Structure 1
Amino acid sequence: MMTCREKAEEWGISIRAVNQLCKSGKITGAVKNGKSWEIPDDAVRPADGRVSSGKYIKNNATNEKKPLPIGISDYVRAQSEYYYVDKTLLIRDFLDRKTLVSLFTRPRRFGKTLNMDMLRVFFEISDEDTSRYFIDKKIWKCGTKYTEHQGRYPVIFLSFKDVKFDSWEATIEKIAELLQEEFGRHSELKSSKRLEKFEQEYYRKVLEGKANEVELSASLQKLSKMLFEHYGMAPVIIIDEYDTPIQEGYTKDFYDEIISFMRNFFSGGFKDNRYLSYGFLTGILRIAQESIFSGLNNLSVNSVMDEEYDEFFGFTEPEVCGLLEAYGVNDKEEELKAWYDGYLFGNKEIYNPWSVINYISKGCLPQAYWVNTGKNEILDDVLQTANEEITEKLYALLRGEQVVARIDQNVVYRSLAEDPANIYSLLLVAGYLKTTKKELQGDGSWLCQVSIPNREIAAVYKKEILSHLMQIGAIDRTTANRIAESLYAQDLKKLQKGIAEYMNKAISFYDSGTEGFYHGLVLGLIAMMDNQYRIKSNRESGDGRYDISMFPRDRKYPGIIMELKSDKDLNDKKLDDLSVEALNQIDDKRYDEEMLEDGIKNILKLGIAFSGKKVKIRMK
Structure 2
Amino acid sequence: MGRTVAIGLQDFSDVIEKNIFYVDKTDFIKRWWDQNDAVTLITRPRRFGKTLTMSMVERFFSVKYAGMPNVFQNLKIWNDERYHKIQGTYPVIFLSFAKVKDTTYTEASKNICKIISDTYKEHEYILCNGTLSEDDKTMFRKHSNELAENEAKDAISDLARLMYKCYGKKAIILLDEYDTPMQEAYVNGYWQEIVNFLRSLFNSTFKTNPYIERGILTGITRVSKESIFSDLNNLAVVTTISDKYADCFGFTESEVKSALNEQGVGDFEAVKKWYDGFIFGSIKDIYNPWSVISYLQSGNLEAYWANSSSNTLVSKLVREGEPELKEKMELLCAGKSIWSEIDEQIVYNQLDLGEVAIFSLLVASGYLKIISRDDSNVADLAVEPLYELALTNLEVLSMFRKLFSDWFANTPIKEGRFVTALFNQDIKMLNIYMNDIAVSTFSSFDVGVAPSQRAPERFYHGFVLGLMAETVRNYVLTSNRESGYGRYDVMMEPRNKSDKAVIIEFKVFDEETEKSLEDTLTAALKQIEDKKYDQTLIDRGIHADNILKYGFVFQGKKVLIGAK
Superposition TM-score, scaled by structure 1 size = 0.79
1:391 and 2:326 correspond: yes
Q: 1:455 aligns with which of 378, 394, 400?
A: 394
State yes or no: 1:70 paired with 2:7.
yes
Q: Counterpart in 2 of 1:530?
A: 472
More moved, 309-318 vs 286-295: 286-295
* 1:314 aligned partner, one-letter code: G
Q: Deviations over 1:73-95 (max 9, x none)?
A: 11111233311111111112212
- Matched to 1:618, the amino acid is A
Instruction: List aligned pairs for 1:493-572, cutoff 5 A.
Output: 494-495=429-430, 497-503=432-438, 520=461, 523-527=464-468, 528-541=470-483, 545-553=487-495, 557-564=499-506, 568=510, 569=514, 571=516
In structure 2, the CA distance between the partners of 1:551 and 1:313, relative to structure 1 (3 Å rule), is farther
Aligned residue number for residue 57 of structure 1: none
Shift, 1:300, TM fit: 0.6
Determine helix, strand or coil for the equivalent of 1:189: helix
1:610 to 544, 553, 560: 553
1:138 equivalent in structure 2 = 76
User: CA 1:479 to 1:307, structure 2 compared with 1: closer, same or farther past 3 Å?
Assistant: closer
User: 1:306, CA displacement in angstroms?
Assistant: 0.9
* Alpha-carbon displacement from aligned partner over 1:542-573 (angstroms, at most 9, x marks no partner): 66554433344456744544455565346576
Matched residue SS, 2:362: helix
The change in CA–CA distance for 1:362 and 1:405 in structure 2 (over 3 A counts) is: same
Distance 1:306 1:253 in 2: 31
* Residues 488 and 327 of structure 1: CA distance in aligned 2, closer, same or farther (over 3 Å): farther
Give the whole-Å Cα distance in 1 for the aligned partners of 2:68 and 2:420. Answer: 61
Classify 1:404/1:543 alpha carbon distance in 2 versus 1 (closer, same or farther; 3 Å): same
Deviation (angstroms), 1:190: 0.7
Shift of 1:207: 2.1
Work out the CA distance in 1 between the residues paired with 2:254 and 2:383: 32
Match of 2:32 in 1: 94
Q: Counterpart in 1 of 2:228?
A: 292
Describe the superposition over 1:369-419 as per-residue Cα deviations: whole angstroms up to 9, x where unpaired: 223322322124413652232232233323332222221111221122454
Match of 1:33 in 2: none
Equivalent position to 2:200, from 264, 287, 306: 264
Normalised to the residue count of structure 2, the TM-score between the two structures is 0.86
Which amino acid in structure 1 is aligned with residue 131 of structure 2? R
Q: Which residue of 1 aligns with 2:87?
A: 150
CA deviation string 1:106-162 (max 9, x = no partner): 121111101110111111123564321111112222x22344332221111111111
SS at match of 1:526: helix
Partner letter of residue 223 of structure 1?
Answer: L
- Residue type at the aligned position of 1:277: E
Q: 2: CA distance between counterparts of 1:499 and 1:75?
A: 53
| 1:504–1:257 distance in 2 versus 1, CA, 3 Å | closer
The equivalent residue for 2:449 is none
| CA distance in 1: counterparts of 2:497 and 2:16, whole angstroms | 49
1:179 correspondence with 2:125: no
**Letter of the structure 2 residue corresponding to residue 125 of structure 1:** V
**Per-residue deviation at 1:183?**
1.9
Tell whether the 8 Å contact from 1:246 to 1:255 is kept in structure 2 after alignment. Answer: yes
Check if 1:207 corresponds to 2:170. no
Task: Tell me the distance in 2 between the aligned counterparts of 1:204 and 1:215.
Answer: 13
- Number of residue equivalences: 546
Alpha-carbon spacing, 1:148–1:288, altered in 2? closer, same or farther (3 Å): farther
- 1:118-133 pair list within 5 angstroms: 118-127=56-65, 129-133=67-71
The answer to whether the Cα contact below 8 Å between 1:433 and 1:453 also exists between their aligned partners in 2 is: yes
**Distance 1:572-1:173 versus aligned 2 partners, 3 A rule:** closer
Alignment deviations for residues 191-225 of structure 1 (CA, whole Å, 9 cap, x no partner):
3333344322211211232x422222111211112
In the TM superposition, residue 180 of structure 1 has moved relative to its aligned partner by 2.7
Take 2:546 and 2:308, find their aligned partners in 1: how far apart are those partners?
41
User: C-alpha displacement at 1:301, in angstroms?
Assistant: 0.7
Q: Distance in 1 between matches of 2:292 and 2:383?
A: 34
**Does the CA contact (< 8 Å) of 2:412 and 2:418 recur in 1?**
no
SS of corresponding position for 1:407? coil
CA contact (8 A) 1:102 1:280 kept: yes
Question: What secondary structure does 2:64 align onto?
Answer: coil
Q: Which has the higher contact order (CA 8 A, sep 6+)?
A: 2
The Cα of 1:280 is off from its aligned counterpart by 0.6
Say if 1:180 and 1:500 are closer, same or farther in 2 by CA, change over 3 A: closer
Correspondences of 1:88-487 after superposition (within 5 Å):
88-127=26-65, 129-141=67-79, 143-209=80-146, 211-331=147-267, 333-348=268-283, 349-366=285-302, 368-383=303-318, 385-419=320-354, 421-439=356-374, 447-468=386-407, 470=408, 476=411, 481-487=416-422
Code of the residue aligned with 1:122 in structure 2: it is: F
Cα distance in 2, alignment partners of residues 393 and 458 from structure 1: 14
- State the partner residue of 1:584: 529
* Matches of 1:501 and 1:408, distance apart in 2: 40
Whether the 8 Å CA contact 1:488–1:557 is kept in 2: the answer is no
Aligned mates of 2:149, 2:489 — CA distance in 1: 58
Contact kept? 1:578, 1:609, Cα under 8 Å = no
Kept in 2: contact 1:570–1:611 (CA 8 A): no
**Any idea what SS the aligned residue of 1:538 has?**
strand
Contact 2:431 2:559 in 1 (8 A): no
Deviation at 1:236, TM superposition (A): 0.9
What is the letter of the counterpart of residue 109 of structure 2? I
- Describe the shift of the 1:507–1:418 C-alpha distance in structure 2 as closer, same or farther (beyond 3 A): closer
- Of 92-101 and 506-515, deviating more is 506-515
Work out whether residues 521 and 551 of structure 2, in 8 Å CA contact, stay in contact via their aligned partners in 1: no
Alpha carbons 1:407, 1:422 under 8 Å: kept? yes
Contact map agreement 2:442 2:459 (CA 8 A) in 1 = no
Q: Please give the alpha-carbon distance, in whole angstroms, between the structure 2 residues aligned to 1:615 and 1:460.
A: 32
1:83 aligns with 2:21: yes
* Contact 2:521–2:553 (CA under 8 A) maintained in structure 1: no
Percentage identity across aligned positions?
Answer: 32
Distance 1:601 1:89 in 2: 63
* Contact 1:565–1:582, Cα closer than 8 Å, also in 2: no
C-alpha deviation, 1:578, in angstroms: 3.5
Q: Which runs of 5+ in 1 are unaligned?
A: 1-63
- Per-residue CA distance 1:484-507 (angstroms, 9 max, x = gap): 334565666654553344345556
Residues 399-444 of structure 1, C-alpha deviation per residue, up to 9 Å, x if partnerless?
3322222211112211224545421222221222222223576889
Aligned-partner residue type, residue 156 of structure 2: L
Q: Is contact 2:486-2:533 (8 Å) kept?
A: no
